């Protein structure tokens, strides 16, 4: 078994630990941030952490009503701009805590008056010395280059932070997430059989929207770095504004179709893709959506819209890891990549 597959399997326990270890700290942090009258939240990250931040943007804006921006690090690190960040919360997200550009942004933001938080898996990293507060993903050491348990841990911390900053009672209870992830891991045998059909896939599109938009980015990244598949990612709305033109017979499209307000739009896209004779794979609990697709990974119907993002990415992680092995590749050591990537 690859390290990637082993670390995917560790996620329920890692998520349980994160809830237990960070709950009290985040409750205090929520009270502190409410007292600071935060008007803006800025998230700064790279790679899989940036995909977790994209999810955090949707969740925080929906639940808190506070505008959320994804930072462009080069504005700080190369252009040297000094932003007005009074009444701002700036959150750096980095698995290693050693991303130089992320840390430089956090330093700049703190000088500009922002309250700063670091989300990392490494409690002794450089990031922890730069920020006002650190939130840790308690995943244990992640040895595979492809991030899995740290990605879902970062997403979980956004759930916990959003719950504390919510304008009204949060429309979710994150306590159920570890158990839902454990259930999602039971899809492994079905996915092992499924990937055999995609061994020769070289290009594909991954689609998601709303709270599932970040899942499309993350699965596409996993397919690119572990399987060397050219994977484009789109929202279901953007995909119809031009990119659908590249779809031809048997072109593979993977769709996240969780329950909720975005499902009707995704099903409309599936219908259009069926007209184009595309090869469609849906990750969904909706029986109609599943039946409309060429293939499907059918999720538990107990997973609602707000809790779907973490358990729904697990089949995607398994798909990428198992497809890499089916292609004769090592998902733990993608070519040209290392665990810590240093950019400015």
Does residue 331 lie within any of the structural domains? Answer: no
Q: Is 133 helix (H, G, I), strand (E, B) or coil?
A: strand
Q: Is the same domain home to 186 and 166?
A: no
Model confidence pLDDT, tens digit, residues 36-54: 999 999 999 999 999 999 9
- Give the separation between CA 162 and CA 4, rounded to whole angstroms: 29
Tell me, yes or no, whether 127 and 202 share the same domain: no
Residue 54: predicted pLDDT: 98
* Residue at which a domain ends, from 171, 199, 230: 171
* Domain residue limits at 24: 3-171
Instruction: Let me know whether 185 and 155 are in one domain.
Output: no
Let me know whether 153 and 228 are in one domain: no
The pLDDT of residue 29 is: 97
Same domain, 199 and 123: no
Task: Report pTM.
Answer: 0.95
Is there a domain that residue 166 lies in? yes
DSSP tag of 70: E
Residue 56 falls inside a structural domain: yes
Same domain? 254 vs 111: no
Angle at 162 between CA 219 and CA 158, to 5 degrees: 35
Q: Are 116 and 109 in contact (CB under 8 A)?
A: yes
> How far is 283 from 215, CA to CA, in rounded Å?
11
Whether the Cβ atoms of residue 105 and residue 92 lie closer than 8 Å to each other: yes
Domain end call among 171, 193, 216: 171
CA max distance for the chain: 56
* Residue 248, pLDDT score: 78
Contacts of 72 (CB under 8 A, 6+ apart): none
Q: What is the pLDDT of residues 142-152, one digit of tens each?
A: 999 899 999 99
pLDDT at 333: 82
Residue recorded with tokens 């991954």? 206
Asked if residue 199 belongs to a domain, the reply is yes
End-of-domain residue from the set 130, 154, 171: 171
Token pair in block for residue 315: 């089949």
pLDDT (mean) for 284-299: 98
The token pair at 295 is: 């293939």
The answer to whether 107 and 130 are in contact (CB under 8 A) is yes
Structural tokens at position 236:
């279901």
Give residue 156's pLDDT band: very low, low, confident or very high (50, 70, 90): very high
What are the φ and ψ backbone dihedral angles of 204, each rounded to 5 degrees? -165, 170
Residues 104-140 pLDDT 10s: 999 999 999 999 999 999 999 999 999 999 999 999 9
Domains of the chain: total: 2
Query: Which CATH number does the domain housing residue 192 bear?
Result: 3.40.50.10490
Shared-domain flag, residues 14 and 153: yes
| Angstrom distance (rounded) from CA 61 to CA 49 | 18
Q: What pLDDT is attached to residue 247?
A: 73
Q: Check: CB of residue 13 under 8 Å from CB of residue 137.
A: no
**121 and 71 together in one domain:** yes
Report the distance separating Cα 321 and Cα 324, nearest Å.
Answer: 5
The verdict on 201 and 135 lying in the same domain is no
In a domain, 343, yes or no: no
- Helix 177-184 vs helix 11-35: crossing angle, to nearest 10: 150
Q: What is the pLDDT of residue 164?
A: 97
Shared domain check, 41 and 12? yes
Query: Does residue 335 sit within a domain?
Result: no
Check residue 264 and give its pLDDT: 96
Let me know whether 160 and 198 are in one domain.
no
Q: Residue 70: inside a domain, yes or no?
A: yes
Is a pLDDT exceeding 80 seen at residue 3?
Answer: yes
Alpha helices (H) along the chain: 3-9, 11-35, 47-64, 73-77, 100-111, 149-165, 177-184, 188-194, 213-227, 236-239, 263-275, 287-292, 309-326
Band (pLDDT 50/70/90 cuts) for residue 342 is: low
Q: How many helices (H) and strands (E) does the chain have?
A: 13, 10
Query: Which residues make beta-bridge pairs with 206?
Result: 233, 254
Q: What percent of the chain has pLDDT over 90?
A: 88
The owner of tokens 């500009």 is: 112
Segment 6-28 mean pLDDT: 98
What pLDDT score was predicted for residue 70? 96
pLDDT value at residue 77: 87
Minimum mean pLDDT range among 79-83, 157-161, 300-304, 306-310: 79-83
């Amino acid at each position: 078994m690859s390290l990637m597959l082993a670390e995917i399997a560790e996620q329920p326990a890692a998520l349980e630990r994160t809830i237990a270890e960070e709950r009290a700290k985040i409750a205090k942090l929520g009270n502190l941030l409410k007292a600071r009258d935060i008007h803006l939240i800025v998230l700064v990250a790279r790679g899989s952490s940036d995909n977790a931040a994209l999810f955090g943007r949707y969740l925080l804006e929906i639940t808190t009503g506070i505008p959320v921006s994804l930072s462009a690090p080069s504005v700080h690190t190369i252009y040297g701009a000094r932003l007005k960040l009074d009444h701002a919360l700036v959150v750096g997200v980095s698995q290693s805590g050693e991303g130089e550009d992320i840390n430089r942004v956090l330093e700049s933001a703190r000088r500009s008056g922002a309250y700063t938080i670091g989300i990392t898996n490494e409690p002794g990293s450089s990031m922890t010395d730069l920020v006002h507060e650190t939130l840790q993903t308690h995943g244990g050491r992640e040895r595979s280059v492809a991030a899995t348990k740290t990605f879902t841990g970062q997403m979980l911390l956004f759930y916990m932070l959003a719950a504390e900053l919510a304008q009204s009672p949060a429309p979710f209870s994150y306590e159920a997430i570890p158990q839902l992830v454990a259930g999602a891991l039971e899809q492994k045998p079905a996915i092992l059989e499924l990937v055999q059909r995609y061994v020769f896939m070289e290009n594909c599109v991954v689609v998601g929207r709303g709270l599932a938009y970040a899942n499309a980015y993350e699965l596409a990244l996993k397919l690119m770095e572990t399987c060397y598949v050219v994977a484009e990612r789109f929202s279901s709305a953007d995909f119809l504004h031009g990119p659908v033109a590249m779809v031809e017979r048997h072109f593979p499209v993977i769709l996240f179709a969780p329950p909720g307000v975005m499902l009707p739009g995704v099903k409309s896209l599936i219908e259009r893709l069926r007209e184009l004779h595309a090869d469609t794979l849906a990750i969904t609990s909706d029986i109609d959506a599943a039946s409309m697709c060429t293939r499907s990974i059918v999720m538990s119907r107990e997973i609602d819209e707000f809790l779907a993002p973490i358990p729904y990415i697990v089949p995607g992680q398994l798909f990428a890891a198992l497809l890499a092995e089916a292609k004769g590749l090592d998902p733990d050591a993608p070519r040209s990549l290392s665990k810590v990537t240093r950019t400015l």
